[in-house]
Amino acid sequence: MTQTRRQFIVLSVAAATAARLAPTLAARAGGKRVLTLVYDKGLGMMRAVDRIVP
């Protein structure tokens, strides 16, 4: 599935909102947030991948 730039922006805003909530959820679960920047060839730009690891 390919994403348009508009979809990318919408997903980025959703990820930023989730990133504000993630520290409180991670603190409860005892997890650690890991933010990784990856190059997406399909979009032709960098994107952030935010994960919570135990």
The ranges assigned to domains in the chain are 5-53
pLDDT of residue 10: 86
Find tokens 């599935």 and name the residue.
Answer: 1
Residues belonging to the chain = 54
Banded pLDDT at 25 (limits 50, 70, 90): low
**Average pLDDT score over residue span 31-35:** 80
Which pTM does this prediction carry? 0.39
6 residue type, one letter = R
Which phi-psi region, left, alpha or beta, contains residue 44 (left: φ > 0; alpha: ψ -120 to 50)? left
- At residue 3, φ and ψ (nearest 5 deg) are -110, 145
**Average pLDDT score over residue span 4-15:** 85
Q: Which two tokens stand for residue 40?
A: 């997406």
